[in-house]
């Protein structure tokens, strides 16, 4: 028991240190390479913080533990949206860029729906894995092309600013020089920070997961529930650390891009790679409950991100409340509690429909506000 407690503390320290190094390196890399922080969050940070999920799911697939492989990916995606975005919005309301609303959130929804559809026959076959993995290759290629375009625009702007400063310095009779774009050595330094941060995050998450799984196994918790909760939360801890630290440093695009990008990588890359290694059987409970929840949670991000262009604190609190309700259901179901049926009906017939109607009403109101603004912008001046 003492060894488990030591593992937990060491893992927590590594997560904090790793998150700090990762965010510092990623934000500086974005400036050095001329790429937006959002793109870095969607790619470098998202892929790096998803490394624990990749290791756990592939290892579980090789060991024939399909419940754990599927539960890890699905549970991580649910946790990322409901818990990480919810907690992040409580810390600070998150301004959502137009690109996230138009491109990345819809891609996340499509990826979740595709995964649910491919799992419908009860198995994620190698062909299904290839389809999913092809999706992540296409998504990453699009991000790389866009980042190159941004890099070229950044360099042109940097050159123009340097030229303007040189002219101003010469006019003032001073010897001025502009650094322009950061030196190549600085880029390597930021990459080193990112690498060290990822290593610390991976080991920190592993220590925490090992400690939690040992306790859960001793209590007789099922493999699927461990995958959906403890392992999913543990492997998502790098995303938690990276997002919270990014928000406290004011890098909101990295925080949002990390969550959305991680969810896309989880289902397309991680589940796809695990299925290519070995076909994965999908538990019936995941088909009837957890996969639909993952899709619904992804779909809920569309109106949440669209309304006002901000994820407000009350929306973050709502996300956290839903994650607590989801966890309670898993615990009741795992313990074969008699109240699980009534709890499920209350959520399905009352809480979820009321939430859906509220979001639809707010979305319709946002549409009207934006149309009114557009008409006013196009109206001729008196």
pLDDT > 90? residue 127: yes
Q: CA 310, CA 327: separation in Å to the nearest integer?
A: 26
Q: What are the extents of the domains in the chain?
A: 2-337
Is the Cβ–Cβ distance between 274 and 61 less than 8 Å?
yes
Q: Which two tokens stand for residue 288?
A: 């009837």
Using CA atoms, how far residue 318 sits from 162, 293, 322, 355, in Å, is 47, 15, 6, 9
Categorize the per-residue pLDDT at 126 as very low, low, confident or very high, splitting at 50, 70 and 90.
very high
The pLDDT of residue 185 is: 56
User: What SS3 state is found at 60?
Assistant: helix
Using CA atoms, how far residue 223 sits from 89, 212, 227, 282, 339, in Å, is 31, 13, 6, 13, 22
Neighbour-count burial for 231-262, b at 16+ CB within 10 Å, e otherwise: bbbbbbbbbbbbbbbbbeeebbbbbbbbbbbb
Q: CA 159, CA 176: separation in Å to the nearest integer?
A: 14
The pLDDT of residue 80 is: 87
Residue with tokens 């809920």: 300
pLDDT averaged over the chain? 76
pLDDT > 60? residue 129: yes
pLDDT tens-digit readout, 221-244: 665 566 566 666 766 777 777 788
Angle of the 66-79 helix axis to the 232-248 helix axis, nearest 10 = 20
pTM confidence score: 0.74
The CATH number of 2-337 is which of 3.40.50.2300, 1.20.1420.30, 2.70.98.60, 3.40.50.1820?
A: 1.20.1420.30
Q: CA 173, CA 170: separation in Å to the nearest integer?
A: 5
Phi, psi for 82 (deg, rounded to 5): -70, -45
pLDDT tens-digit readout, 279-321: 988 888 888 888 999 999 999 888 888 877 888 888 889 999 9
Q: What percent of the chain has pLDDT over 90?
A: 10
CA 109 vs. chain centroid, Å, equals: 13
pLDDT > 60? residue 116: yes
The DSSP H or E segment spanning 281 is strand 280-281
pLDDT tens-digit readout, 244-284: 877 877 777 777 888 888 899 889 988 998 899 889 888 88
Nearest to 110 by CA among 132, 125, 141: 132
Categorize the per-residue pLDDT at 102 as very low, low, confident or very high, splitting at 50, 70 and 90.
confident
Nearest to 17 by CA among 226, 238, 215: 238
- Of residues 16 and 368, which shows the higher confidence score? 368
The pLDDT of residue 352 is: 77
DSSP output for 65-98: -HHHHHHHHHHHHHHIIIIIIHHHHHHS-EE--H
């Amino acid at each position: 028991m003492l060894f488990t407690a030591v593992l937990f503390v060491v893992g927590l320290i590594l997560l904090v240190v790793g998150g700090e190094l990762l965010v510092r390196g990623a934000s500086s890399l974005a400036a050095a390479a001329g790429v937006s922080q959002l793109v870095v969050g969607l790619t470098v940070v998202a892929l790096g913080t998803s490394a624990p999920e990749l290791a756990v799911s592939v290892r579980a697939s090789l060991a024939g533990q399909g419940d754990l492989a599927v539960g890890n990916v699905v549970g991580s995606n649910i946790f990322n949206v409901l818990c990480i975005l919810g907690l992040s919005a409580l810390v600070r309301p998150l301004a959502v860029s137009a690109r996230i609303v138009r491109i990345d959130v819809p891609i996340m929804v499509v990826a979740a729906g595709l995964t649910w559809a491919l799992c419908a026959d009860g198995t994620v076959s190698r062909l299904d894995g290839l389809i999913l993995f092809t999706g992540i290759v296409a998504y990453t290629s699009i991000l790389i092309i866009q980042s190159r375009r941004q890099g070229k625009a950044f360099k042109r702007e940097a050159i123009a600013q340097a030229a303007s400063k040189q002219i101003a310095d010469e006019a003032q009779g001073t010897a001025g020089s502009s650094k322009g774009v950061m030196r190549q050595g600085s880029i390597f330094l930021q990459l080193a920070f990112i690498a060290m941060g990822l290593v610390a995050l991976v080991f920190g998450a592993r220590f925490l997961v090992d400690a939690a799984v040992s306790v859960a196994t001793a209590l007789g918790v099922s493999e699927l529930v461990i995958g959906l909760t403890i392992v999913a939360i543990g492997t998502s801890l790098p995303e938690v650390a990276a997002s919270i630290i990014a928000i406290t440093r004011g890098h909101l695009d990295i925080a949002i891009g990390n969550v959305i990008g991680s969810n896309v990588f989880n289902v397309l890359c991680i589940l796809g790679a695990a299925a290519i290694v070995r076909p994965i059987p999908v538990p019936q409970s995941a088909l009837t409950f957890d996969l639909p929840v993952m899709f619904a949670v992804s779909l809920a991000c569309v109106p949440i991100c669209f309304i006002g262009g901000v994820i407000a604190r009350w929306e973050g609190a709502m996300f956290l409340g839903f994650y607590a309700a989801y966890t309670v259901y898993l615990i009741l179901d795992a313990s074969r509690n008699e109240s699980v049926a009534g709890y499920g009906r209350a959520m399905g017939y009352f809480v979820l429909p009321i939430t859906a109607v509220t979001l639809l009403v707010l979305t319709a109101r946002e549409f009207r506000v934006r149309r009114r603004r557009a008409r006013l912008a196009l109206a001729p001046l008196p």
